[in-house]
Amino acid sequence: MTLPYVLTLVAARDATTLSRSVVEEARALVSGAEPVELSPGEAVDIPCPPLPDPVSGAFSGAEHTLPRIRERFSAQHVDVLLTRSRGRRKGLLVADMDSTIVQNETLDDLAARAGLGERVSAITARSMNGEIAFDRALRERVALLRGLDVSALDETWAETRLAPGARTLVATMRAHNATAALVSGGFTFFTERVAAACGFDSHHANRLLIEESRLTGAVEEPILDRAAKLDTLRALAAERRLQIGATLAVGDGANDLDMLSAAGLGIAFHAKPVVAAQARNRIDHADLRALLFAQGYRAADFRE
């Protein structure tokens, strides 16, 4: 009989190797079945049954033990994810861009070219932590860039770096008949280029307004904000005739929380504290390949 949950352990490849002792300890914590190796020294699946709630003692899903298990292995640079064993592979990926698919915060980098890096970064940090509304923060930051020459966009793009595993994530899911969409509160100038570099099927973002080769300090309305990210997830799922449970969303900021909560598998990726605290599944150490392991893909299934 198939066990209802799967506990997936993923080691950060640049920091550690997944040891047999860690795997066996995790297996004991969840009364798991024989581990299934996904990538030697990097990732394993451990099928597991429902476990008693550590507080009430009542039997319920294994997710009640997840924070304790995650905390146990965090110092060893091992991420712990929990999924249901049925329907693990998702038919739609919706990914945030900044600090997720790319390592940069492109708006902050753009502001640095106007000599406003620290000022804009402070607003970004407050927005990503949910302290101020995203649309207000975006308008405020873009207004500061009024008059900036559009050449700064190309200069910023030249220094933008894809996150490790980004191309592999998109290529592998698309090779297995999934649709991949980049959905960002950033700007189409960057999402268009990132989507092309990674192979996303579509990209959705905000459009900077430009006149005479200079930024006007405004963004085209309506703004793609937290609610719009959720709406896009739902619309793309409906377009593909997928149940919401067949979707995967990933992001790092407060404006990603609604889509992370709604998706069949929502994963906070190296997330801001407010997001990490609310997300059921999160990646704190490993790269974006971990999203594939969470769906049960083996390294041998990956596409580059």
Q: What is the pLDDT of residues 194-231, one digit of tens each?
A: 999 999 999 999 999 999 999 999 999 999 999 999 99
Q: What is the pLDDT of residues 118-129, one digit of tens each?
A: 999 999 989 888
Q: Of 261, 232, 237, nearest to 247 (Cα)?
A: 237
Cα-Cα-Cα-Cα torsion 237, 238, 242, 244, nearest 10 degrees, comes to 60
State the amino acid at position 49 in one-letter form.
P
Structure confidence at residue 63 (pLDDT): 52
Q: What is the mean pLDDT of the chain?
A: 94
First-to-last C-alpha distance (Å) of the chain: 34
Structure confidence at residue 59 (pLDDT): 46
| Residue 175 confidence (pLDDT) above 60 | yes
Quote the CA–CA distance of 267 and 281 in Å, as a whole number. Answer: 5
| Residue 172 confidence (pLDDT) above 80 | yes
Quote the CA–CA distance of 196 and 125 in Å, as a whole number. Answer: 28
Of residues 45, 79, 98, 109, which has the active-site annotation? 98
Cα-Cα-Cα-Cα torsion 188, 274, 247, 234, nearest 10 degrees, comes to -60
Structure confidence at residue 53 (pLDDT): 54
| Residue 184 confidence (pLDDT) above 90 | yes
| Residue 84 confidence (pLDDT) above 60 | yes
Phi, psi angles (nearest 5°) of residue 24 = -70, -35
Query: Is 252 assigned a catalytic role?
Result: no
Structure confidence at residue 58 (pLDDT): 47
Would you place residue 89 in the very low, low, confident or very high pLDDT band (cuts 50, 70, 90)?
very high
In CATH terms, is domain 1-86 a member of 2.40.160? Answer: no
Structure confidence at residue 67 (pLDDT): 87
- The tally of CA atoms less than 13 A away on the side-chain side of residue 82 is 23
Quote the CA–CA distance of 304 and 164 in Å, as a whole number. Answer: 12
Q: What is the pLDDT of residues 37-82, one digit of tens each?
A: 999 999 999 999 875 555 454 445 555 578 889 999 999 999 999 9
Of residues 96, 109, 252, 256, which has the active-site annotation? 96
Tell me the C-alpha to C-alpha distance, in Å, between residue 137 and each of 104, 125, 180, 229, 258: 18, 10, 27, 16, 18
The domains of the chain are located at: 1-86
